[in-house]
Each structure stands twice: as C-alpha cells, then as structure tokens.
Structure 1
Amino acid sequence: MTKKRKSAVKYWIGKIHLWMGLISGLFVFFLGITGCILAFEKEIGDLTQRYRFVKIENKPRLLPSQLKNIADLKLPGKHGHSVSYEPGKAAKVLYYNADPEYYYIVYMDPYSGQVLKVKDMNRDFFRIITIGHYYLWLPPAIGQPVLATATLLFVLLLISGLVLWWPKNRASSNKRFTIKWNARWRRVNYDLHNVLGFYITWIVIFIGLTGLVMGFQWFSKSVYWVSSGGKKLNLFEESFSDTTRTLPVAAGAPIDRLWLKALNENPDHKGSIEVHIPDSPKAALELALNPDTETYWKADYRYYDQYTLKEIDVKHVFGRYSKASVADKIIRMNYDIHIGAIGGLPTKILAFIGSLIAASLPLTGFIIWWGRRNKTKGKKMKQRKSGRSGNLAEQAETVGARVHNTERKPGSDAPVSGTTSIKRQE
C-alpha cells in the first residue's frame, strides 16, 4: 500500500472513529462510571453490611424448610425462590417474582433461625446501579438494545483507535507511549486520550466483548459456535419432575432431603450450597454447589426429580461443572471476566481502572474534536478575512487605475487608455 493510500485509509478511519464516538460517547461514559461502582460491590457490601456474617458454631444448621417457614412470616404471600448456606455467612432465603415484580432477601442465623435483616433488593443501591448498567433504567426491551449497541460501537472504537494510535515510524513511536505532562493542556489532553486509550485497550476489550455476549444473542451464539467447533448454544432449558410419583408425608420436604443428600455426598465441600424451591408440582429441584464463592463459573448445577430425588441429566451450559466443555466454560466465565472477578482482587482493580479510563475517553475525545473544530473555523474565518481584504485592495487598485486613466491630457479631448493615446483625428 502506498503512503498516499495509507494516509487516505487512516483519514476515513479517523472520520468513522469520530462519529462513532460522538454517537456512543454519553453511553460509554455512563457504562464506565457504573462499571467502576459495581467492580467492588461485594467488598463494599461486606464492609458496610455486617448482618451478612455469623460466627461458625459447633452445632447443626437448621433445615432449608425450617428457615423458609420462619422467613415466610416476614413476607406473607411472597414466593420463596431459594435457600442458601455459606460457612461464616448468614443463611439467605430469597424471594423473587417477575409479575408482580418483587425481590427480597431474608438474612438469617442458620443455627438459631434469627432473622438478621429483611432486605428489599429493589431499593438496594448496587441493585439500582446494576439495573441502570443493564437497561439504563428503561424497560429492558428498550434499554438493553441501546446499551448493547453502544457497547458494540465502543469495541469498534477501541479497534479503530488502535489503528489511529499506531505510529508511522520508529522515530515517532516513543511519543505514543508517554504523556508529555509539561506540554500545553491541549497536548496533555491529547496524550490522555491517545496514550491511556492504548494501554487500557488490552483490558477493556475483554469487558466490552463479554458485555456483547450478554447484550446480543447473535454474538453469544457466535462465540459458542466458534469455541465449540460449530455447535449451537443451549444456554438453559427447564427440567421437570415426574408428577406420577409421590412421596409419603414422613419423607420430609424435598428441599430438606436434597440438602442433606448434598451434604452427605460432598463432605469436603467448603463453599456455598443453594437449594431452589420448586414453584409447581412438575418443577424440578435445583441444587448449586459453588466451591469458590468469589466467582460463579465453577459452580456445579444439578437438577433432581422432586419426588424421587433422581438426578436429571441436562444438555445445557449450566449443568455439572465436570461435564462442561471448553465452550461451556467460556460462556460460564463471561460474567466473572466482565466484572473482573475471574482473577481475584488484582483483576478487579484492573477492571476498575479500565472502566474509569474508558469513561474518560469520550470526554478527552470530545475536547480534541471541539478544539480542532474551533481551529478549523478560525482558519476559515482568517481566510475569508484575508480574501476580503485582498479583494478590496484589488478593487481599490482597479478603481485608482481607472481614475488615473480617465484624466484628460492638456489640449486633448480623448482619455488615456493604458499606455496608448487615442488622438482625435482632424
């Protein structure tokens, strides 16, 4: 490719970069700021909400049905969704429904059944920020596609920005890696956009791509298709119990039997155990065992007939971890990569810094564009002024020449035209 052609390609990439930035800038800023807030949601919650913790005691914990029955007294008429346990943490009974919409968590002492907190999650600060981050506080059918599209534009901005950042030669490459702090503020702003944008591209590109997996079905299906070698994505499908089978009353609540079964079969499990409460006679029991409570992708999801406790084999992504394929694990990891939890605190810090700088890029980019816009306007104004003054000078010179040339010579009736005299013929 010739130098002239390269310059033309870069020019048009710059134009595309500009317009994508102007269209998506406000949304990218919003996603970056809310992403920063959500990066340390768990850590901030643990520091400020001490009711989440209980002292480990050397006595048995209450059964799931016992905890649910106590929690039901606090939220009469609400449907219990799940009961979860975690060593050193309060047991949680979760109540959730889509229509009418409600979402509560009852925190309880798993040993005594004491209610520590009834929390309306729709009023929780981080829950509100999460809804904004996902849907812009609009109906999901509207807000989700808007933010997903903005995320797609942001990923394209990162790629086009990298092309524009790429130095022309080795001599100019040093300027691309450092910020010239002692320069004029416009140059500092340019470096903040250009240099910091380059460094965080390698972080936020993963945040952006994982956001697209959650935002667009076609993208998540494409990722799975590529990583699985051409298989179709089956994210989740509901399992069912055999309603022709029944249990005697003495057998106890299905969720209790499943919880005790999980404890007996996994005596060395140190993570969380969550039992989902069936919402209908045909619904299956769901069990989630997570060995690492800092992330979600390693969780073991199992499904059982609520009458026989026979495990139901599933063919979707969220089944037993031991049966998950590479493609399944990539989809499972998606959320943990997106929030930076995949590598613990270090990757959370990187995600926070990346989100913060990503939020600044629309601002620094807008300042660059505005400055160039005013500079271009100023040049045009100067050109117009100089053009006008030049025209006036030419006009004045022309008028002066005409006045001079129309002066009469002594004793002659004819005007002088240029250097030629026209004399009256006698």
Structure 2
Amino acid sequence: MTATRNIPVKKKIKDSLFTRINKWLHLWLGLASGIIVLIVCLTGCIWVFNEEITGLMEPETKVERQDKPVLTPAQLTAIAAKFYPDKVPAYANYQQGRTINLNLKTVGEKGRRGGGTQLKINPYTGEVVSTVVHKKGETDFFRFILNGHRFLWMPYEIGRPIVNYGTMVFVVLLITGLIWWYPKKWNKSTRDKSFKIKWGASFKRVNLDLHNVLGFYSLLFLLAIALTGMVYGIKWYSEGLYWVTSGGETLAEYKRLESDSLQANKYYTPVQAMDLAWNKVIAKHPKSAGFYYNFPDTAEAKAAINITVYPSPGQFYNSEGYTFDQHTLQELKREDVYSISYAEAGFGGKLRKMNYDIHVGSILGFPGKVLAFLAALIGASLPITGFLIWYGRKFKKKGKKSASDQSAATKNNKVPKVTKPQLEEII
C-alpha cells in the first residue's frame, strides 16, 4: 500500500503595514473623490480645445494675418458707438488670425461684463463680422464647461473648495496608485502586466489593465495638470510652491492699481488716454500676436488702464502687462510676479508665468494640448475603471466547490484544475 504524501501548500505572503495603508488610501479616497475627478477631467479635456472648437464653429471669425497695424482703441470705440450708442466698450481681446472681441456694457454700469454684448470685428478693416448678445444670466457652452471645471456648477463658495481639495486628493491617488502598480519582482510576466493591455482577455482583466497601464503612462501629465490647477484655488499651496521654487521669496499679492482721481479731466479724454497708452505699449511690442486691455471707466475716476500683450500665438507665459493712470498716463508699477517680464523673472517667476500654459498643455504648442487632452481623458476614466475593479472584487460570486470534489482531490493528492478564466484573473 502506497503511503499518502502531503503536498505543502504555500501560504499567501501578508502585505506589510505600509502596503495595506497605501491600498486602503487608494481605495477609499478614490471612491470618495471619483465623481469630482470624473467631472473635472471631462470638462478639462473639453476646455483644452475651446479656441480651436470655437474657430471651427465660427469660421467667419478667422482673419488672415496682414502686415499692417490692427485697429486702435479709439477706432473700436467709434465702431461700438455706431452700432450701440447706449453702450460703451468694457474690454477687448485679440489673438492673431482671429477677429477682435470687443465687449460692451451699458453706460454707468459697473463690472467689465455688463450688457452681455460682444462685437467680433475684423482687426484691419473694422468690419463687424458678428454680434453676440447674451441675456442676463445666460452663459455660452464653454463658460458652462468652465463653471463645471472650476466649481461643479454649484455655488462658487461651496463648489470651489470641493474642486480644489478634490484635486489634492487626486494627487495622493496618483502617488498611491504608482506605489500599488510597482511590481515586487521584475520579470516578463510582471512587465507585460505593467506596460501592456491584454485585449484578448476577459472584461475584468482588460478593465484592470486599462486602470493600471493607462494610469501609469498618463501619471506625469496628470500630476503636472493637477499641481498647476491647485495654484488657482489653494492659497497656502500657491504661496508655498512659489516660496520653494523661488528660493525663499514671498509671493507678492496682486493689487489692482488706481488712477489719481484728483487729476480727472485735466489732461486727456478717456478715448485719448486709451489710444496714447496703447501706442506706448505697441511701440515696445510691434510684433505682438495678441492683446487684452480694458477701457477706463468714466464713472470711476480711480479706474486705471490695463494692457497685456502676448508675443506668442496661443501662449500666455511670456505675456507682459502694463498699467497706466487714465488721467496723467503715468505708468503705474505693480509688484506682483506677473508684472515682471518672462526674460527678467527668476526660476520661480518663470514657473508661475508658465502655470496656465502647463495646465492646458499649450506650453508645448498644439502637440502639448493633444497630450493634455488625452491625459485628462484617461484621468476621467480612472474613477470608472477603478470602481469596476472594486465592485467586481467586492461583490463577485464565489464559486462553490462540492464536498465530494474536495474529498477526491485530497485523496488523490491532486492540485485542483485551474480554468482559463481563472488563470487570466491570476495573471
């Protein structure tokens, strides 16, 4: 009679305390912030191409660049008065290859967006290509998308902190996810699992690969997007980041400069002041590819003239801003990080000026926008694939083994047969 030989069964190695905490954080923080991450990432990847989409939807606003000056503020004011005598210009913005967007408001109305009327004007001929009139409280599609991205369409005071700290949680999820993804041993099997999606496997396996593999490939891009996004909403983070990157400098607070109201109506009319200030700036930047400026509010004697020029099309990091007293045309000097030119700024200042371009990917031009779009799209998928992984493991049906099968396997000292779906799950 042959003696029965007991086959030793390998015990599953228990995870370390660090690993268990890391997995717990990744799981529960992911479940708690999933909806926030999904909305912020989806609206973000749409917003990345807002200018390109708007251009496709409004082909009439495309204007071929000409080697001659664009319209001056005084000329734009005259055009506005011709079509809307009851309104005055509030602000104008322009990017090379497009029309000038001239936004109007009712006389005496406070706020730069009053009136809800926008004229799109050919920058060389003065032709009004189109007029957009928004009703009170009405927003366009991309403003709706931006509101969701910034505060989830909730009241600003409630939604903004949720988005800001939800983004911070997302950074923690990216780091804990990387730790969880990192294989204990590197071999062909773990390399395949870590860097390749096994498309021919079961749905559960493909879903797991989409979460792990795509999450790894998009990690650095998502970190860059998240870390730059928090600059706009978390004050202590913004100041701390600048302090670290500038070598201990304190981030100067942005202050709106004011004109000397005692000098009102002594030197220039508002239209004259606006044109003279514009000529000063454009003389320094004759090849500017875009601009933004506000018109001095005649109802507010302390209002100043602010002009910003953009040397590179579609990029904002190397912009330069100027502020003038609307009565004396004296240049008013700001002390914040954005008042210094990109070339003169230190590392911390350069990084801060590049923040928006990094956030939307335009720092690398159009290819960078594509990368930001794909990264945000993957970021939106991570809460979905992660939830499916958790749901499948938490509520999956456990196969029941009959007592007779277990007895037969024990008597014959045989290892239970592993089916192909089970093998795929293990691998």
* Band the TM-score falls in, shorter-chain normalisation: 0.7 to 0.9
1:76: Cα distance to partner?
Answer: 6.0
TM-score, normalization: structure 2? 0.80
Higher helix share: 1
Change beyond 3 A, Cα 1:235–1:341: farther
Q: Is residue 2:127 matched to residue 1:123?
A: no
Aligned residues of 2:80 and 2:87 also touching (Cα < 8 A): no
Report the 3-state secondary structure (helix = DSSP H, G, I; strand = E; otherwise coil) of the residue aligned with 1:119. Answer: strand
- Structure 2 distance, partners of 1:371, 1:31, is 25
Q: Is residue 2:259 matched to residue 1:225?
A: no
- Structure 2 distance, partners of 1:136, 1:102, is 26
- Structure 2 distance, partners of 1:168, 1:106, is 61
1:248: Cα distance to partner?
Answer: 3.8
1:337 is aligned, of 336, 342, 358, to 358
**Equivalent runs, 1:97-176 vs 2, <5 Å:** 98=111, 103-120=116-133, 122-171=138-187, 172-174=189-191, 175-176=193-194
- Percent of aligned pairs with the same residue? 38
Deviations 1:127-170 (A, max 9, x none): 21111111111121111111112211111100000010010011
Deviations 1:228-285 (A, max 9, x none): 2222222421112223335445896211111122233433x24123332122212222
Change beyond 3 A, Cα 1:127–1:100: closer
Change beyond 3 A, Cα 1:329–1:361: same
Segments of 5+ residues of structure 2 without an aligned counterpart are 1-11, 404-427
1:195: Cα distance to partner?
Answer: 1.2
**Equivalent runs, 1:174-323 vs 2, <5 Å:** 174=191, 175-245=193-263, 246-248=265-267, 253-267=272-286, 269-279=287-297, 280-321=300-341, 322-323=343-344
What does residue 61 of structure 2 align with? Answer: 52
Q: Is residue 2:374 matched to residue 1:353?
A: yes
Change beyond 3 A, Cα 1:120–1:337: farther
More deviation, 322-331/23-32: 322-331
- Structure 1 distance, partners of 2:54, 2:149, is 18
Change beyond 3 A, Cα 1:16–1:76: farther
1:91 is aligned, of 75, 97, 100, to 100
Report the 3-state secondary structure (helix = DSSP H, G, I; strand = E; otherwise coil) of the residue aligned with 1:318. Answer: helix
- Structure 1 distance, partners of 2:96, 2:166, is 41
1:363: Cα distance to partner?
Answer: 0.9
- Structure 2 distance, partners of 1:8, 1:56, is 63
Aligned residues of 1:136 and 1:143 also touching (Cα < 8 A): yes
More deviation, 304-313/348-357: 304-313
Deviations 1:281-313 (A, max 9, x none): 122221111101211111110112222322222
TM-score, normalization: structure 1? 0.81
What does residue 424 of structure 1 align with? Answer: none
Structure 2 letter corresponding to 1:360: S
More deviation, 236-245/97-106: 97-106
Q: Is residue 2:46 matched to residue 1:29?
A: no
Change beyond 3 A, Cα 1:149–1:95: farther
1:354: Cα distance to partner?
Answer: 0.7
Change beyond 3 A, Cα 1:60–1:7: closer
Report the 3-state secondary structure (helix = DSSP H, G, I; strand = E; otherwise coil) of the residue aligned with 1:11. Answer: helix
Change beyond 3 A, Cα 1:149–1:120: farther
Structure 1 letter corresponding to 2:74: S
- Structure 1 distance, partners of 2:348, 2:338, is 12
Structure 2 letter corresponding to 1:156: V
What does residue 399 of structure 1 align with? Answer: none
Aligned-pair Cα RMSD in Å = 2.8
Deviations 1:179-200 (A, max 9, x none): 1222222111111111111111
